Amino acid sequence: MTWENYYMPSSIEEALSLLDKHQGEARLIAGGTDLMVQHKSEPIEAKALIDIGGIPDLKKIHEENGRVYVGAAATHSQVVSSPLLKEKGRVLVDAAKAVGALQIRNVGTIAGNVVTAQPAADTAIALVALDACVHIQSGSEKLEKPVLDTFLGPGKSSINPSKELITAFSYPTPTSLERTGFIRFARRDSLALPLVNLGFWLILKEDQKTVKEIRIAVGPMSTVPFRARETEASMKDVQISEEELEKAGLVIAEEVTPRDSFRGSADFKKYLIGVALKRAIKVVLDGKGVDWDD
Amino acid sequence: MNYTNLGKDTPILDGLEKVTGRARFVPDLKVEGMLYGKVLRSPYPHARLLKIDTSKAERVSGVKGIITGNNVSQHRFGTMVPDWVILPRDKVRFHGDEIAAVAANSEEAAAEAASLIKVEYEELPAVYDPELAMAEDAPQLYEDKENNIAVTFNVHTGNVDDALAKADLVFEETYETNQVYQAHMEPMGALVVPGDYERLIMWLSTQVPSMSRLRYAEALEMCSEDLRIIKPHVGGGFGAKFEYKSHILAAVLTRKTGLPVRMVNCREEDFRAGNPRVPMKIWVKLGLKKDGTLLAKDTKIIAGNGARTVYAPAITSTACYRIDSLYKFQNVRSTGYTVYTNTIPTSCFRGFGNAQMHFAMESALDTICHQNNLDPIEIRKLNGVTPGFTSIHGWEINSCALKECLEKATQESDWYEKKKEADQKGPVKKGIGVAICNHVSGNRPFYKPFDGSSSLVRLTPEGKAIVFTGEADIGQGMNTTFALIAAEAVGLNVKDVRTAAVDTDISPFGLGSFATRGTTIGGRAVYEAAINLKKQLIEHVARVYEKQAEEIKINNGKIYFAGNEEPLPVAEAMQQISYTLGGTSLVGHGVFVPNTVLPDENKYGNVSPAYPFACHIAEVEVDTETGKIRLLNYWAVHDVGRVLNKQTLEGQIEGGVMMGAGWVLGEDMVLKDGALVNPNFHDYCLPTAMDIPRGKIYSYFMESDDPNGPFGAKGIGEPSLNPVPAAIANAVFDAVGVRITDLPITPEKILAGLDI
Ligand SMILES: Cc1cc2nc3c(=O)[nH]c(=O)nc-3n(C[C@H](O)[C@H](O)[C@H](O)COP(=O)(O)OP(=O)(O)OC[C@H]3O[C@@H](n4cnc5c(N)ncnc54)[C@H](O)[C@@H]3O)c2cc1C
């Protein structure tokens, strides 16, 4: 272990002042499910760890002034069991359900998932689909930016966890015409990184059938969570039907550029993402949820 | 027959210790002054060692000893082929090959020192594919092994060419089985402690304590009596935990430093240098009559030995000919090559080559039935061996409930109804598949000098019995089974019986846990010892209580006399007996030498005292859009001879089925330039609890009462896995019409088969 101190602040202010005090030589830790794994292969250079898991304000999931807020240190399990999100953030709930296994979900957090910046991080994909806003504090400064802008490359985030604290993610409370969903395919049903995953948000026209606007986030299709903007454009003003979904599946398969790996070939992933899109959006047709593990 | 202890659900006797974390395994052991051992492994698949410089490593604080090929004996030894040295001086032959070993007073110091050993290499061309390794111009691993062939196995009985010429149907196909990892929970390890009289005490995580002792004595150039092997709790073996290089390295370091050394693989090492399954390419040609009668079988197998020989040649020969005694063949021919490659040495893994061949044979039969409109259940009934049959290789099938297994599985799974099911709507299709298997319960040629087992059962003055055996409980519950057998044979209650940990200073020699022999051979020796003890007990009771021996009965811990006399607790009687005999315990001694013979040059001879059989039926669902296969239900019907303990039988079956399912549905050791790409549980995808069948794994037992097994019992460990790959592959074919002949069956292969 390289660090000398392990802090457990109980408020955001305390956490910020600890970061301040250590002048960039401390490191935030939430569930530690990424940090401790990284530490084993490459020791973390930090004089102190600041554990934000005991800060109640960072764990809140609530609605305020027309926006849904999810605290940065909310665990995946918390997200899964939130009645608010079940109704107003289905994509996030289904993504959180997919993470690791129960033990991992009980401690792993959504901010950790975002800052680790893996191209197929499940809840990160969901937040990108929601075009969530990241609320950041550094010293007395408060900052907001779209979550997609925080991803710089594989494992590279614009957030500096030795200086900046994510406090929450937020997005506008969905109207009755909005739908979201998440799907993933993996080599086994638990404890596996996705072969492909996909989150979407869409808003329908008044007819309840035609896409007014859609956002599709997919992984691992690039060095960062990927927005399939061509596919999104192709689906605008389209009335959803089995045939149209087939078509959209082909568009997205063409749009993405995954890599070959021992987990699956690039062609296989391209093909699968098409199936994923089709199946995920079927939710809009039949009104039922997607059971990604089924 | 009414049994007091058998046929019930008896939880394993050490279960509580294990689930509460009190049971101690090799990695938990610690002794005063103990050093930590670390192996330096080759980063190249094939390289000449030019220079090894340990000077920097020696200066690391806490380092007590370093060994390399330059300061250890270079004599050759080995398990089947003398191609092992303690550490090589000339070259390394696989990515992970041992180059040096360090002992230091902390794990960190040992790891640091190992990383500071400077090795100069000259990289050599390498070969990974066994078939390519046999080519004339392939890189050579050993100078004296032409075409990299370690061992060739040949058998030809009857006249295969004639029979094929006369056959109505001739079927030919090539199958490939991949390399998979046993994934025992406890990685391989040893603790070696210097003992008195210059002896070494080795605490080993092993399934073959007595055999390891012989081999390590050879490696260390010691008398085997000067090695004391103790086997504590073992966290699984599945075939991996036979003789192992690191055990020897720990012993050499102990001798060098005079201090205890504990050497335990980290998980990555266990992947990179364990003893994974022998990969095989299997060519099969079968000749049949129109009605499905099997006339001839012709096979050729090329098997990967890896960079040195562990047990792959025995596994290859098993793949070549064991299945010939599942069916009533009259003409068989097989050639098997065990070939060196620059990859991890391969060895035993549940099924021992028979599993690989079952994938080929049982898949082939399925295809033959499909192509010729034959019934896959009936063809197996038609050709399967029957009680009292002597197979083409002289194997004496005594008990055999193969037909009953087929019938029960067909009935329980509702096979014929499910087969009838017409075209299914939607992208997800259901399918059902069958496969059967045979196996052995002991394998005479595995250890050439002898076959059999012996045991001691001691009855203490407190009336408690302790079973001593050299056969190894490695987590499968052997110790509980031995206690049950002894309890039933003497007439005790199993709660008063335990089995001692194997300690070669005390326990009899035991060949070990392999070939599904523990219950049948080891258990029969325990039975004989218990019967012998019972006889002594009755004689002494008769003497001390002045009764006729003939009128004494022992049951459930009590001694019964003729008439209405109150039964006497065994504990009370034993106390009185011991008072008359200087406080002694009674010791029963039992030996079982099975009626097996070493096969002759034509591979003829009965190799096992009993043969277990099984029929498996798998029901799957295949998503034709994603290629994903899901298990729905699984029916496993086994001829176990006699149910000694229902719970451990079910445990073996559920474990065997899921182990097989993991193998067939995705487990794979992936090499890139000879290096393992996925040496961890994240990338090497074992099934988890989420991947078990959506419905259930149903286990059923047929009690065929084998004349040689204790109370008629036969083994279960390996037959629980043998039919799994083919049963699932056949179910997949039934679902979507895609025949996969190379394992694993991945979604990508399914989609390719569907032309997507
Ligand atoms: C066995 C296993 C399985 C897994 N499976 C999955 C999976 O299926 N899908 C998936 O997406 N992920 C998976 N993960 C990865 C991991 O669990 C998730 O990424 C998790 O969300 C990380 O959260 P954490 O709280 O544990 O992060 P930590 O490890 O505590 O932190 C990760 C990074 O985020 C920084 N950080 C944490 N909180 C903040 C904050 N509030 N502000 C600024 N920086 C912060 C830390 O300094 C660190 O750099 C798995 C991990 C393991 C060990």
State pLDDT tens for residues A226-272.
999 999 999 999 999 999 999 999 999 999 999 999 889 999 999 99
User: Is B280-444+600-753 a CATH 3.30.365.10 domain?
Assistant: yes
Name the nearest CA neighbour of B348 among B300, B302, B307, B310.
B310
Residue with tokens 């110790």: B479
pLDDT of amino acid A288: 54
Name the nearest CA neighbour of B687 among B723, B721, B660.
B660
Cα four-point dihedral sign B361, B362, B363, B368: positive
Does ligand 1 have an atom closer than 6 angstroms to the CB of A80? Answer: no
User: Is B452-592 a CATH 3.30.365.10 domain?
Assistant: yes
Whether residue A284 has pLDDT greater than 90: no
pLDDT of amino acid B369: 98
Q: How far apart are CA B266 and CA A63, in angstroms?
A: 48
Q: How far is CA B615 from the centre of its chain?
A: 20
Answer yes or no: are the C-beta atoms of B474 and B697 closer than 8 Å: no
Does ligand 1 have an atom closer than 6 angstroms to the CB of A111? Answer: yes
* Nearest Cβ partner for B756 among A101, A192, A271: A271
Q: How far apart are CA A91 and CA A200, in angstroms?
A: 7
Q: How far apart are CA B369 and CA B382, in angstroms?
A: 13
Boundaries of every domain in chain A? 5-51, 56-171, 178-285
Tokens of B343: 């990859």
Q: How far apart are CA A256 and CA A272, in angstroms?
A: 11
Q: B451: buried, middle or exposed (CB in 10 Å: 19+, 13-18, 0-12)?
A: buried
Which residue in chain A is spatially nearest to B677 when comparing CA positions? A262
Q: How far apart are CA B628 and CA B145, in angstroms?
A: 43
B462 sits in the region (left: phi over 0; alpha: psi -120 to 50; else beta) called alpha
What digits encode the pLDDT tens for the residues B422-433? 778 899 999 999
What SS3 state is found at B687?
A: coil
Q: How far apart are CA B105 and CA B33, in angstroms?
A: 8
Tokens of B531: 């019967």
Across all residues in chain A, what is the average pLDDT?
Answer: 94
CA A31 to ligand 1 center in whole angstroms:
7
Distances (CA, A) of B434 to A288, B208, B612, B636, B643: 36, 34, 17, 10, 24
* Nearest Cβ partner for B670 among A101, A262, A268: A262
How are beta strands B63-68 and B98-104 bridged, if at all? antiparallel
pLDDT of amino acid A41: 86
Distances (CA, A) of B392 to A181, B332, B607, B690: 61, 8, 13, 43
Count H helices and E strands in chain B, helices first.
Answer: 19, 29
Tokens of B360: 């080929």
Q: How far apart are CA A2 and CA A46, in angstroms?
A: 7
What angle (nearest 5°) sits at the alpha carbon of residue B459, between those of residues B456 and B464? 120
Residue with tokens 């890139």: B672
Ramachandran angles phi, psi of B73, nearest 5°: -55, 145
For B463, the enclosing helix (H) or strand (E) is: none
Amino acid at B57: A
CA distance A135 to chain B (A): 32
Which atom of ligand 1 lies at the shortest distance from residue A124's CA?
A: 11
What stretches of B26-87 adopt beta strand conformation (E)?
35-41, 47-53, 63-68
CB contact under 8 A, B689 and A190: yes
Residues of B in contact with A269 (CB under 8 A): none
According to DSSP, residue B551 is labeled: G
Residues of A in contact with B745 (CB under 8 A): none
Residues of A in contact with B754 (CB under 8 A): none
Amino acid at B548: Q
Superfamily of domain A178-285: CO dehydrogenase flavoprotein, C-terminal domain (3.30.390.50)
Does ligand 1 have an atom closer than 6 angstroms to the CB of A238? Answer: no
CB contact under 8 A, B688 and A271: no
Which atom of ligand 1 lies at the shortest distance from residue A116's CA?
A: 33
Supply the CATH classification number for the domain A56-171. 3.30.465.10
A5-51: what CATH class? alpha beta
Superfamily of domain B26-124+185-236+241-273: Aldehyde oxidase/xanthine dehydrogenase, a/b hammerhead (3.90.1170.50)
A220 prior amide bond cis, ω within 30: yes
For B420, the enclosing helix (H) or strand (E) is: helix B415-420
Q: How far apart are CA B482 and CA B484, in angstroms?
A: 5
Every domain range in chain B assigned CATH 3.30.365.10: 280-444+600-753, 452-592
CA distance B344 to chain A (A): 19
Cα four-point dihedral sign B164, B169, B174, B175: negative
- The arrangement of strands across the sheet holding B294-306 comes to B149-157, B331-340, B294-306, B280-288, B169-177
Residues of B in contact with A193 (CB under 8 A): 682
A285 — pLDDT class (breaks 50, 70, 90): confident
Name the nearest CA neighbour of B152 among B337, B328, B345, B284.
B337
Whether residue A294 has pLDDT greater than 60: no
CA A138 to ligand 1 center in whole angstroms:
20
pTM metric for this prediction? 0.96
Tokens of B185: 């929970």
pLDDT of amino acid B420: 87
* Nearest Cβ partner for A187 among B666, B689, B751: B666
Q: Which of B112, B626, B630, B692 best probes binding to A when mutated, by most A CB atoms within 10 angstroms?
A: B626
pLDDT of amino acid A287: 62
Radius of gyration of chain B (CA): 27
Does ligand 1 have an atom closer than 6 angstroms to the CB of A52? Answer: yes
Q: Give the number of other CB atoms < 10 A from CB of residue B621.
A: 18
Residues of chain B predicted below pLDDT 70: none
Name the nearest CA neighbour of B507 among B519, B494, B527, B522.
B522
Q: How far apart are CA B586 and CA B463, in angstroms?
A: 10
CB contact under 8 A, B688 and A101: yes
Q: Give the number of other CB atoms < 10 A from CB of residue A125.
A: 31
A1 — pLDDT class (breaks 50, 70, 90): low
Every domain range in chain B assigned CATH 3.90.1170.50: 26-124+185-236+241-273
